[in-house]
Amino acid sequence: MAELNLPYNKKDSKSIESYAKRLLNKSIREVLGSHIKQTYFGKGKLGQALEDLYFQYKPNSGSGPDFVEAGVELKTSPLKRTTKGLTSKERLVFNIINYEEEYSKTFKTSSFWIKNKLLLLMFFLHQQGIEDLDFIFKIIKLWEFPSTDLKIIEDDWVKIITKIKAGKAHEISEGDTLYLGACTKGANKSSLRKQPFSSELAMQRAFSLKSKYLNFIIRKSLPAEPIVKDLKEYKTDESFEELVQKRFAPYYGMSESEIIKKLKLPKSVSKSRFYLIAKAILGIKKEKIEEFEKAEIEMKTIRIEYSDALKESMSFAQIKYKEIVNETWEDSYWLNTLTKRFFFVIFQKDAKRQARLKKVMFWTMPVKDLEVAHKYWVDTKKKIAKNDFKHFIKISDNMICHVRPKGINSRDLMETPAGTMEKKMCYWLNSSYIKGIISH
């Protein structure tokens, strides 16, 4: 039988990895010969070609891992070159979530875990204009999730399943979770699926790992420090988010100066001091927080007036005029930003104008609000395409988001698609909207 002549032991994960590593710094065509032709097409064509031509088994969509007897799932993922070196180009997508079956599983019997507990990751350098068979593989490794990460991944899976059980599969968002996401697969009516506890159709989704988490795998470590160093730090059934909130609770009601004194921090008047206080409460000495980096959690400090007013709207990146006109909503900066998980650290001034820690909270924009943000993005894109920079949505329009300048000065300009130079504008979330969120 042909399979007896395989150039690796299909029952041994290390043998499979060793054979895979013969492709390191090479392409499939370079190893197998110039006569090799691309016979697979579509999104996963490189992975299918790798399975068929190199590992010599027919691609399948079964519930088990690709190398069943070794318990190994093969995944390919693109890299891009940046000033920081090689980084992940996109999220890593796993199996489609079957809403009508997955809710009846436990994490250990789930489709995700059965298929993906041991991964053979093959990262290749994506280059425009060349065939997939000529992509060079730069990183090849077997991957098992570290125990502290697996704890968060299991909690993420539970969050997704909890929404399905509540009849809210149509409200699932990537921002609900930290490492294990539920990304959309398709963006039209044909991508809608039935769910078991509601008559409302839900967008088809697949389990996925966020691209920032992949960077941790690529680099083996991050220039960051973890909040949780050991699983023993968790109480029984405590989630990562609950642990984080628990770390802040003893400081509620304390003033900025009292926290600084208690934690023996240097005094500062810089705008970043509240961010530094938050990191210190979490016990983080390095510049970045490892779990927040892996999960793309954006920490925002918010200051409320004594009167309960919130004067400042929340700013994000400048709108890149020449990029937004070529974006789709699904791949847009704005959707990617709003579907992140946010961590708000909220201070409020007292009668003596001292900022006191009021509370912290994790938040993701609800689906109904994302629909408003979509209309705002479409309006902004159309006006930039028409070279109309005078009629963007304003804060007074009460549409959750607005556009307004955020440049160094009035001479800080950016080129438009029409070739003119216009004042730099920024994405903003309205202060009234943020106030509503943190008041709950």
Chain segment 62-121, per-residue pLDDT in tens: 778 999 999 999 999 999 999 888 999 999 999 999 999 999 999 999 999 999 999 999
pLDDT > 70: what percent of the chain? 98
Extents of the domains making up the chain: 2-219, 238-438
The pLDDT assigned to 243 comes to 98
Backbone angle region of 42, left / alpha / beta, with phi > 0 → left and psi within -120 to 50 → alpha: left
**Overall CATH class of domain 2-219:** alpha beta
The pLDDT assigned to 187 comes to 64
Domains 2-219 and 238-438 share a fold: yes
The pLDDT assigned to 265 comes to 92
Confidence grade of residue 271 (pLDDT, cut at 50, 70, 90): confident
DSSP state string for 265-298: PPP--STTHHHHHHHHHTT--SSEEHHHHHHTPE
The pLDDT assigned to 285 comes to 92
Average pLDDT over residues 399-411: 86
Q: Give the closest residue to 395 by CA, choosing from 312, 339, 302.
A: 312
Average pLDDT over residues 356-373: 96
**pLDDT beyond 80 at 4:** no
H/E stretch holding 226 reads: none
The pLDDT assigned to 188 comes to 64
pTM attached to this predicted model: 0.89
Average pLDDT over residues 142-149: 96
Q: Does 300 or 185 have the greater pLDDT score? A: 300
The pLDDT assigned to 5 comes to 82
Confidence grade of residue 2 (pLDDT, cut at 50, 70, 90): very low
**pLDDT beyond 90 at 267:** no
Give the separation between CA 209 and CA 214, rounded to whole angstroms.
7
According to the CATH classification, is domain 238-438 in 1.10.10.60?
Answer: no
Give the separation between CA 160 and CA 139, rounded to whole angstroms.
31
